[in-house]
């Protein structure tokens, strides 16, 4: 295929602030070097023809409401959100990716945002990262059936090289927080099977909404620690995580700015415990990885990252210690679990952009 446009969109790793986005709270993610590239051209037939090195081929009609099979549903979902009547009837798209699928690094958000970037360029429309991210979130919520928040799509669309993004998920305002040159960000992939990610995730979202309703606030963003103590059982646990995690995100952004690594260590560890005990999104593989990493050379802080129920941990390590850190951690992880995990060192990347346009 001779593409008219090639676009790229990165995956993301969240440094801190999980399950706060759909509660109107704060998150501190960054776009990563691993990315999806989408080469696209318009065609005259009302079909979308996809080829992916990783997943093979898929086709769906762009004029039908029939749900596409498998991974093509993400492309279909975002196209349904963006497409206007004056757009070309169909597209051919070739997709390549360096984001490991299913690991919790937002390969599906990157596919949505990469598709959006390529197709809006073909349609000659302006690029608005926040609008594209909201369209991606609606595609997930309304078409895919995943009740996710805005973090993954917004990070893939609006990432800034060398910076984490402090996002207020209520106003969608973004502050770029420079990452100190003395640390490196490491993704630790447990490579263990994840549990029923979608349904458990949607349960957490419903439980948070129920806790907010019980407190009479529009979202848990508007609850404080005293309010939370009025709750009991699951509502108490879910709300306590969200309220304390929002506080930790702001504290972590301050600590990054001042280079206070001792504070970061404590905050990341409290976040991990809160996700494990109150939000209950950890898994045995994740616990094994965090324990394996905890006394490793160069470690600043480590925690589960993203949706959870397996997937990846994020570690901040002192620059230059990646080899020793990862060897130590993955060796201990393998001894404990029999699984060969993976470690990637990654720097913060820019959000979606055009690579080529003819």
To ligand GLA, the closest distance from the beta carbon of 275 in angstroms equals 9
Of 8 and 303, which CB lies nearer to ligand GLA in the complex structure? Answer: 303
User: From the candidates 2, 21, 86, 152, which is the catalytic residue?
Assistant: 152
Q: Please tell me the distance from the alpha carbon of residue 45 to that of residue 229, in angstroms, as a whole number.
A: 59
Known catalytic residue: 335? no
Residue partners of 56: CB distance under 8 A and separation at least 6: none
Reference 263, options 274, 252, 272; nearest CA is: 252
Q: Please tell me the distance from the alpha carbon of residue 108 to that of residue 116, in angstroms, as a whole number.
A: 12
Q: Are 158 and 174 in contact (CB under 8 A)?
A: yes
Burial class (CB in 10 A: 0-12, 13-18, 19+), 64: exposed
Of 19 and 276, which CB lies nearer to ligand GLA in the complex structure? Answer: 19
To ligand GLA, the closest distance from the beta carbon of 7 in angstroms equals 21
What totals of helices (H) and strands (E) does the chain contain, helices first? Answer: 10, 12
To ligand GLA, the closest distance from the beta carbon of 80 in angstroms equals 19
Q: What residues does 57 pair with on adjacent strands?
A: 51
Of 19 and 303, which CB lies nearer to ligand GLA in the complex structure? Answer: 19
Reference 183, options 346, 42, 73; nearest CA is: 346
Reference 74, options 154, 144, 147; nearest CA is: 144
To ligand GLA, the closest distance from the beta carbon of 12 in angstroms equals 8
To ligand GLA, the closest distance from the beta carbon of 135 in angstroms equals 14
CA 135 to chain centre: 15
Which parts of this chain interact with ligand GLA (CB under 6 A)?
A: 14, 18-19, 21-22, 148-149, 151-152, 306-307
Q: Which residues are catalytic?
A: 152
């Amino acid at each position: 295929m001779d593409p008219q446009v090639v676009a790229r969109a990165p995956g993301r790793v969240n440094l801190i602030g999980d399950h706060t986005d759909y509660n109107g709270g704060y998150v501190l993610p960054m776009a990563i070097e691993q990315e999806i590239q989408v080469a696209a051209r318009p065609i005259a037939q009302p079909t979308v023809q996809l080829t992916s090195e990783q997943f093979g081929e898929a086709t769906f009609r762009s004029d039908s409401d029939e749900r596409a099979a498998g991974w093509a549903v993400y492309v279909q979902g975002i196209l349904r959100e963006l497409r206007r009547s004056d757009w070309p009837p169909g597209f051919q798209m070739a997709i390549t990716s360096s984001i490991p699928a299913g690991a919790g690094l937002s390969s599906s958000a990157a596919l949505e945002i990469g598709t959006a970037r390529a197709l809006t360029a073909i349609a000659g429309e302006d690029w608005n990262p926040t609008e594209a991210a909201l369209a991606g979130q609606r595609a997930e919520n309304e078409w895919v059936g995943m009740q996710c928040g805005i973090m993954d799509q917004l990070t893939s669309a609006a990432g800034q090289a060398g910076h984490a993004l402090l996002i207020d998920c209520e106003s969608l305002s973004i502050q770029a927080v420079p990452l100190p040159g003395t640390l490196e960000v490491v993704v630790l992939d447990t490579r263990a099977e994840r549990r029923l990610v979608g349904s458990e995730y949607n349960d957490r979202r419903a439980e948070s909404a129920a806790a907010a309703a019980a407190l009479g606030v529009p979202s848990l963003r508007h609850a404080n620690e005293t309010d939370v103590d009025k709750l009991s059982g699951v509502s108490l646990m879910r709300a306590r995580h969200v309220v304390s995690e929002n506080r930790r995100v702001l504290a972590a952004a301050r600590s990054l700015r001042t280079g206070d690594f001792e504070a970061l260590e404590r905050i990341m560890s409290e976040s991990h415990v809160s996700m494990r005990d109150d939000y209950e999104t950890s898994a045995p593989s994740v616990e094994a990885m965090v324990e394996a990493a905890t006394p490793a050379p160069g470690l600043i802080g480590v925690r589960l990252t993203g949706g959870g129920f397996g997937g990846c941990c994020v570690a901040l390590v002192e620059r230059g210690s990646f080899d020793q850190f990862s060897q130590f951690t993955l060796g201990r992880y393998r001894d404990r679990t029999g699984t060969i995990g993976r470690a990637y060192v990654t720097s913060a990347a820019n959000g979606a952009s055009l690579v080529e346009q003819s």
